[in-house]
Structure 1
């Protein structure tokens, strides 16, 4: 009885355990004898040995090495070629002959052996049976490929001369010229690259004899070589690696969320539109109906990742800052009951509020600041940072801003092209066509967010954001948000100061009270205390009592009260910058008041200026003035009822939120010059390097010049 064996032909190439061998012959019993291609050492394998290797995937038929490239070399075909019906029919016909020849088991190629196979395999009505030489050629392809059916696909499309007739030197010059003149950031055309390459070759031919000159490339050759440049390389060379990675990165998504208030995305955007041709549209707003002050607004918004619900927002002339981020976070956490009273035109309510488990932000300075991280930690919020130049990690809010730009910004009265004066030099200036005020734009924004965006069906949710929010709330419930006292404690700037007998100095303002004196003289009191500063109101600070872990409110002393109540930190920085750069003009105890009055007069003069930067500066200043008046009329909640920090930490631990210690911001050196006299009555023991406002940056931002003369505000 014959022993089982693997059917192989002599000289057939196989791969066993990563080595390439040639089948030599069958040995005794079921032995298969192979010869190693490199060492020519024979190897013997039994039938079961080969079967085990087939099962493990360490035995396979191997293709013969391809000959050197050249004319007449057959291309290795792929399974996609079988999509062609003609090629598929012919391949199946050839395969039938190969299977019949293999089933015969003799593996002979003589005429006497092949004629019976052709006669038995040919189907009735087959007009063109293969000849003996044709069948031998098919057998050769079949053998060399290790029995791969793809080797039998006809090479009809490969007929003709496949060798390039272009000189290798010319081809090298063309590719070198494309690297130099086509793959450039200014994205030149193939025609201009062709002209540059021809000029380069012409200069080289000038020093060569007539019979050695290089032929000029045709434009068709340039287009063919351009077509061979892969898209990644093209974008990489023209626009950089980040653009290339962005264009060809596999489209993914942010980690999924299961419920509302699990993750928010927060970001800023300038209130502007964009046309399909790439032109930017400025949304020009006025501060009030007189139209004298115009500006371009910024929107800061928090979006719930799970439900796509807008959680909170703030819009104004002030650029992104810690104060703006805090304002947006406060608005997002608290209920929006004011909408019905302030905007009766809005039909729906906005039910979204509460604190998130985490927020995703970019790497802007206001989000990286210690104060922002500390505020989020006190509220039990984890801060996650999206990688630099990878906005898809917060893609939900980026897509939201696109809808906002298309549906709101481009429809606001007063929207004009950014290059307005260049395009329409004889047209009226923007302030004459800016018909929307900032408050009217806030109404447009509220209407769109509450009555349009939140109410319509979202393609990614298959329901509206409001329905998704309400469904999630019914399923998971809604945790109560932090109280206003805790928000007042958290959403402020955190600093550290040393109490003195005259109180605490912060940015050249002085704060003192009986409670602060008691903290200073208490037995075992630490040298430094933690203070919290509301950037929108410098009229008072909050000082942490280290014994009771409660915040006490410490007002500015009477000397600065008229100046500091309702004053924002940005306004105060402008006044300090004005004094620091004009010390001889602002001298004495009333220097800050004089600087404030001077700046107000200067802002009034800016209202009539044509420069956009001047008008934006005036808009920000006057908007702060109006906020101050509104705060003066509003009732403020006393801080003495704030919860102890121990209760806050207990809540954080109960919610499984990490309660890392809050890092303190390191105070930079004092930027004021030695000649500064606004606080000349400070005692010698005052700490001189505690101020953290960058006056030089404020001076540049506000356009304050040094050594002002009586001419007024210079830029």
Structure 2
């Protein structure tokens, strides 16, 4: 992954002109030379550069291959999750091999290399000293990118396995039965068992039907291709491998900013009002990301999205990004939001959203190590828990509409009746309190004011690194999907995404003899586009939704779309644009009768309308609400535009899943309140 420290020597592209920073004339103010014209220099502030980066107008140059926008909608972004599983496992194994060596600060690395080689050999991995040196060099030169450990063979095309399918199956079954056990069987033993099984089977066959013996190195590669953690867990147990996979003391105090960062969610102790109707809509959830060394909040998400990968994604994106929006959005806030950057260690609990494959892959690509706290030991995340308590006690418990933290404090106080703070006003109050009060006030836990501690460290040390292109980080945090390219494009959740570049990708796959299957990244808070990965040229294609007759998808989130699709499916038993439009019109009428609804239902409306703090630091237009997307009744003569053949509900979701759905917790729209939905999408 490409990360750039902004300072003397940094090159960047802005407004079609290339610059190089040659001098820092005062704190966070630079002189940059125009590389296209001799003797032309301009002055830039760090804030201006970061703002242009955030807006997508600036791109930093990096050594080697640069992230760049090739043409409109085509992005050259390295993405580890788009590689084959074999390549991903190969890179993970190499990272495991060098991980203990990366943290050493010694003059002579040779004895440690020899020791690591011997240790790996005992574990069944045959690695040369030269390979370890080469991998360490590549990893460090790439600023800790897992992509640097991927061999270049993925660019040569996929080769078919030389082994017969029967031998493949036999090898896998013997590894599962004899290697993934607590008995410490060696790779040589597994190889001998494979040979024995093949010989026994060959005794029953004619000469021309006999299976060939695989080599020992083939068996070793098959075992090494397995997930390292799962293999070790099966062979040694979870407790025995904890120290092996967690090389540092995770409960010790960090020594510098971004070394240890904690993230968690909680319901805020306040009932807020709808921005338009002024009716109570309930308690929003906050997902906060806190730097432990300085006590400075890196970022947050406040909204009505329940704890999920979506809320984690939005909080992490806010945390790692420069926050140049504050002064423009909230002029009454005096101080800038100083903190941004990638953490080294992210401390989480064992919630479903923190065990998500999406988070695991995103952090691997961003170079963030995840540590899951032991179950029922909240003190492992003490700083972020205390931060939540401080928010409630020092800000919200003094605000009309507070729910307090317990029944005794609440007494006969009615939060809904006394609520007077609109959601937008809450966000402004939060920024004012956080940046002008909390970050400026001495904190006993960190022995100083968070803002002063942050500034003091980075006055004497390099600034936090930023991406060469902001879209690089955004795409890495998006969710991963799979699809095939058909004549109408890629279908997802009854919507079609089409672009001429898709058919170019399809032809390249056909010429290479590959299946018509592609990976793509998508933002669950905006269904108007997806980013399809071209594995042949290693680039992303931005593909817009073509089912947008009524600007349906612009700004709509995944949850709202699923509510609408479910209603249309239940009534029509087929999905077409007219059915979706009619379902939306009925939902609008449901929203109009808010006074008869409970606070819980109003809160779910906010989730439906994509209301959250992620809209605050975006310069893009706010998302359309259900009301904004109202569609006129189609004329009687108008033929409905069918975007999909009629199909039964069993095609949308396997029958087994439908039975399971009755056990799940659903909301007012009978939609599963969890929003990862990995088992739902078949389109």
Q: TM-score, normalised by structure 2?
A: 0.53
2:303 to 316, 319, 333: 316
Q: Which SS does the other structure have where 1:356 is aligned?
A: coil
1:348 to 321, 324, 335: 335
What is aligned with 1:269? 266
What is aligned with 1:443? 428
Q: For the structure 1 residues 691 and 304, does the alpha-carbon distance in structure 2 shift closer, same or farther, using more than 3 Å as the test?
A: farther
1:327 to 314, 326, 329: 314
Is the 8 Å Cα contact of residues 573 and 693 (structure 1) preserved in structure 2? no
How far is 1:446 from its partner?
A: 1.0
| 1:570 correspondence with 2:559 | yes
Higher relative contact order (CA 8 A, sep 6+): 2
What do the CA deviations read for 1:332-386 (whole angstroms, capped 9, x no partner)?
1111211111112112222111111121111112221111211222222122211
Q: For the structure 1 residues 630 and 375, does the alpha-carbon distance in structure 2 shift closer, same or farther, using more than 3 Å as the test?
A: closer
| CA distance in structure 2 between the aligned counterparts of 1:308 and 1:518, rounded to whole angstroms | 50
| CA distance in structure 2 between the aligned counterparts of 1:678 and 1:367, rounded to whole angstroms | 39
Q: For the structure 1 residues 619 and 430, does the alpha-carbon distance in structure 2 shift closer, same or farther, using more than 3 Å as the test?
A: farther
What is aligned with 1:518? 504
Q: Which SS does the other structure have where 2:488 is aligned?
A: coil
Q: For the structure 1 residues 623 and 680, does the alpha-carbon distance in structure 2 shift closer, same or farther, using more than 3 Å as the test?
A: closer
What is aligned with 1:96? none
What is aligned with 1:219? none
| CA distance in structure 2 between the aligned counterparts of 1:683 and 1:416, rounded to whole angstroms | 47
Is the 8 Å Cα contact of residues 323 and 617 (structure 2) preserved in structure 1? no
| 1:486 correspondence with 2:472 | yes
Is the 8 Å Cα contact of residues 293 and 619 (structure 1) preserved in structure 2? no
What is aligned with 2:285? 298
Is the 8 Å Cα contact of residues 539 and 561 (structure 1) preserved in structure 2? no
Q: For the structure 1 residues 434 and 349, does the alpha-carbon distance in structure 2 shift closer, same or farther, using more than 3 Å as the test?
A: same
What is aligned with 1:599? 587
| CA distance in structure 1 between the aligned counterparts of 2:522 and 2:656, rounded to whole angstroms | 12
What do the CA deviations read for 1:57-116 (whole angstroms, capped 9, x no partner)?
xxxxxxxxxxxxxxxxxxxxxxxxxxxxxxxxxxxxxxxxxxxxxxxxxxxxxxxxxxxx
What do the CA deviations read for 1:217-241 (whole angstroms, capped 9, x no partner)?
xxxxxxxxxxxxxxxxxxxxxxxxx
Q: Which moved more, 1:619-628 or 1:570-579?
A: 619-628
Q: Which SS does the other structure have where 2:524 is aligned?
A: coil
| CA distance in structure 2 between the aligned counterparts of 1:698 and 1:617, rounded to whole angstroms | 20
What is aligned with 2:453? 468
What is aligned with 2:158? none
Is the 8 Å Cα contact of residues 484 and 517 (structure 2) preserved in structure 1? yes
How far is 1:630 from its partner?
A: 11
How far is 1:511 from its partner?
A: 1.1
| CA distance in structure 1 between the aligned counterparts of 2:250 and 2:474, rounded to whole angstroms | 35
What is aligned with 1:495? 481
Aligned length: 398
Q: Which SS does the other structure have where 1:348 is aligned?
A: coil
1:703 to 652, 668, 671: 668
Q: For the structure 1 residues 431 and 290, does the alpha-carbon distance in structure 2 shift closer, same or farther, using more than 3 Å as the test?
A: farther
| CA distance in structure 1 between the aligned counterparts of 2:391 and 2:555, rounded to whole angstroms | 32
Q: For the structure 1 residues 271 and 553, does the alpha-carbon distance in structure 2 shift closer, same or farther, using more than 3 Å as the test?
A: same
Unaligned residue ranges in structure 2 (runs of 5+):
1-248, 624-640, 672-683
Q: Which SS does the other structure have where 1:531 is aligned?
A: strand
What is aligned with 1:227? none
Q: For the structure 1 residues 616 and 419, does the alpha-carbon distance in structure 2 shift closer, same or farther, using more than 3 Å as the test?
A: farther
| CA distance in structure 1 between the aligned counterparts of 2:653 and 2:276, rounded to whole angstroms | 44
What is aligned with 1:553? 542
How far is 1:289 from its partner?
A: 5.6
| CA distance in structure 1 between the aligned counterparts of 2:278 and 2:429, rounded to whole angstroms | 18
| CA distance in structure 1 between the aligned counterparts of 2:519 and 2:333, rounded to whole angstroms | 43
**Aligned pairs (5 A) from 1:66-465:** 254-272=251-269, 283-288=270-275, 290-416=277-403, 424=412, 430-465=415-450
How far is 1:268 from its partner?
A: 0.6
What do the CA deviations read for 1:190-225 (whole angstroms, capped 9, x no partner)?
xxxxxxxxxxxxxxxxxxxxxxxxxxxxxxxxxxxx
Q: Which SS does the other structure have where 1:468 is aligned?
A: helix
Q: Which SS does the other structure have where 1:353 is aligned?
A: coil
Q: For the structure 1 residues 466 and 452, does the alpha-carbon distance in structure 2 shift closer, same or farther, using more than 3 Å as the test?
A: same
| CA distance in structure 1 between the aligned counterparts of 2:611 and 2:584, rounded to whole angstroms | 13
Is the 8 Å Cα contact of residues 525 and 610 (structure 2) preserved in structure 1? no
Is the 8 Å Cα contact of residues 555 and 622 (structure 2) preserved in structure 1? no
Q: For the structure 1 residues 556 and 595, does the alpha-carbon distance in structure 2 shift closer, same or farther, using more than 3 Å as the test?
A: same
Q: Which has the larger radius of gyration?
A: 1
Q: For the structure 1 residues 473 and 547, does the alpha-carbon distance in structure 2 shift closer, same or farther, using more than 3 Å as the test?
A: same
Q: For the structure 1 residues 689 and 481, does the alpha-carbon distance in structure 2 shift closer, same or farther, using more than 3 Å as the test?
A: farther
Q: Which SS does the other structure have where 2:442 is aligned?
A: coil
What do the CA deviations read for 1:638-684 (whole angstroms, capped 9, x no partner)?
xxxxxxxxxxxxxxxxxxxxxxxxxxxxxxxxxxxxxxx98543799
Q: Which SS does the other structure have where 2:587 is aligned?
A: helix
**Aligned pairs (5 A) from 1:615-630:** 615-624=602-611
What do the CA deviations read for 1:557-610 (whole angstroms, capped 9, x no partner)?
2456622222100111111222343346x76441122222222221222x2135
What is aligned with 1:674? none
Is the 8 Å Cα contact of residues 539 and 555 (structure 1) preserved in structure 2? yes
Is the 8 Å Cα contact of residues 503 and 510 (structure 1) preserved in structure 2? yes
Q: For the structure 1 residues 698 and 345, does the alpha-carbon distance in structure 2 shift closer, same or farther, using more than 3 Å as the test?
A: farther
Is the 8 Å Cα contact of residues 286 and 303 (structure 2) preserved in structure 1? yes
| CA distance in structure 1 between the aligned counterparts of 2:645 and 2:384, rounded to whole angstroms | 51
How far is 1:613 from its partner?
A: 1.6
How far is 1:635 from its partner?
A: 11
What is aligned with 2:45? none
| CA distance in structure 2 between the aligned counterparts of 1:311 and 1:631, rounded to whole angstroms | 17
| 1:681 correspondence with 2:670 | no
Unaligned residue ranges in structure 1 (runs of 5+):
1-251, 273-282, 637-676, 707-715
How far is 1:620 from its partner?
A: 2.7
Q: Which SS does the other structure have where 1:415 is aligned?
A: coil
Q: For the structure 1 residues 468 and 690, does the alpha-carbon distance in structure 2 shift closer, same or farther, using more than 3 Å as the test?
A: farther
2:520 to 526, 531, 534: 531
Is the 8 Å Cα contact of residues 273 and 279 (structure 2) preserved in structure 1? yes
| CA distance in structure 2 between the aligned counterparts of 1:552 and 1:381, rounded to whole angstroms | 26
How far is 1:529 from its partner?
A: 1.3
How far is 1:705 from its partner?
A: 6.2
Is the 8 Å Cα contact of residues 526 and 554 (structure 2) preserved in structure 1? yes
Q: For the structure 1 residues 498 and 587, does the alpha-carbon distance in structure 2 shift closer, same or farther, using more than 3 Å as the test?
A: closer
Q: For the structure 1 residues 554 and 588, does the alpha-carbon distance in structure 2 shift closer, same or farther, using more than 3 Å as the test?
A: closer
